[in-house]
């Protein structure tokens, strides 16, 4: 693997450029990863909440599992993922308002954005539950407000768009609902990160 900047020492790094959804999604697709860009960002956001800085290496391995290590695009994709990790970790750890789910641009179709929204939620929940949990963390995940947030996010994974109504007169209402859900996820992920602070390894504090 290439040289990746994972770990607590990178907490205050200044990321010069953010990774766009389309850029990352295309790179993952060309690598034949089983994860898309939304799932990948949701996954690291969830893993950071429970593991802190320790989340990086396992997340990278999970996203690139089954891909060709000799692929000429491997290094470029790893660097892209490293930048995404650093940016996401910094935003959560330093409680920056710029944190937001990585999703398609507003100009993309309703179906694509709704599907990506559900995929981000799937990745996030997987990140929360896939790591080995001690009793204290299990108990914290089962208490409010975290338990309620998990339930809400689980329901968002079921959101779909009726193809027959995708261009209906309800577009404005659908767009408003989409924006509200994205804002909810943005705030909820930050809240969960803060709520789980005492359960994360001390190295991530």
- Tell me the per-residue pLDDT of 88-117, one tens digit each, with 9 for 90 and over: 999 999 998 889 999 999 889 889 999 999
5 confidence band (pLDDT: 50, 70, 90): very low
Output the domain CATH number for residue 129.
1.20.120.740
Asked, for residue 3, whether it belongs to a domain, the answer is no
DSSP line for 79-107: HHHHHHHHHHHHHHHTT-TT-------TT
CA atoms within 13 A on the CB side of 142: 7
Asked, for residue 82, whether it belongs to a domain, the answer is yes
Asked, for residue 120, whether it belongs to a domain, the answer is yes
pLDDT at 163 over 80: no
How confident is the model at residue 107, as a pLDDT? 85
Phi, psi torsion values for 200, nearest 5 degrees: -80, 155
What domain range is 153 assigned to? 8-204
Tell the residue number behind the tokens 């005492």, with chain if given.
198
205 confidence band (pLDDT: 50, 70, 90): very low
When comparing pLDDT for 165 and 46, which is higher?
A: 46
Q: Which residues are CB-contacts of 169 (< 8 A; sequence separation ≥ 6)?
A: none
Answer whether 89's CB lies under 8 Å from 10's CB.
yes
Q: How many domains does the chain have?
A: 1
Asked, for residue 2, whether it belongs to a domain, the answer is no
DSSP line for 10-65: GTT---SSPPPHHHHHHHHHHTT-S--HHHHHHHHHHHHHHHGGGHHHHHHHHHTT
Tell the residue number behind the tokens 């990506």, with chain if given.
116
pLDDT at 1 over 80: no
Asked, for residue 1, whether it belongs to a domain, the answer is no
Asked, for residue 29, whether it belongs to a domain, the answer is yes
Write out pLDDT tens, residues 38-95: 999 999 999 999 999 899 999 999 999 999 999 999 999 999 999 999 999 999 999 9
Percent of the chain with pLDDT over 70: 85
Asked, for residue 80, whether it belongs to a domain, the answer is yes
Asked, for residue 12, whether it belongs to a domain, the answer is yes
pLDDT at 9 over 50: no
């Amino acid at each position: 693997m290439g040289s990746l900047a994972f770990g607590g020492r990178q907490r205050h790094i200044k990321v010069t450029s953010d990774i766009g959804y389309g850029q990352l999604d295309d790179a993952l697709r060309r690598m034949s990863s089983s994860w898309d860009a939304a799932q990948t960002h949701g996954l690291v956001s969830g893993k950071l909440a429970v593991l802190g800085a320790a989340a990086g290496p396992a997340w990278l391995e999970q996203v690139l599992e089954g891909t060709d290590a000799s692929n000429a695009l491997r290094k470029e994709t790893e660097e892209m993922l490293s930048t995404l990790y650093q940016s996401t970790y910094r935003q959560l750890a330093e409680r920056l308002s710029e944190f937001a789910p990585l999703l398609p641009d507003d100009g993309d179709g309703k179906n694509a954005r709704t599907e990506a929204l559900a995929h981000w939620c799937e990745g996030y929940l997987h990140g929360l539950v896939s790591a080995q949990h001690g009793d204290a963390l299990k108990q914290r995940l089962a208490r409010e407000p975290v338990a309620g947030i998990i339930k809400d996010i689980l329901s968002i994974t079921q959101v779909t768009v009726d193809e027959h109504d995708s261009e209906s007169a309800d577009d404005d209402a659908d767009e408003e609902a989409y924006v509200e859900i994205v804002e909810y996820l943005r705030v909820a992920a930050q809240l969960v990160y803060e709520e789980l602070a005492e359960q994360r390894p001390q190295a991530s504090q």
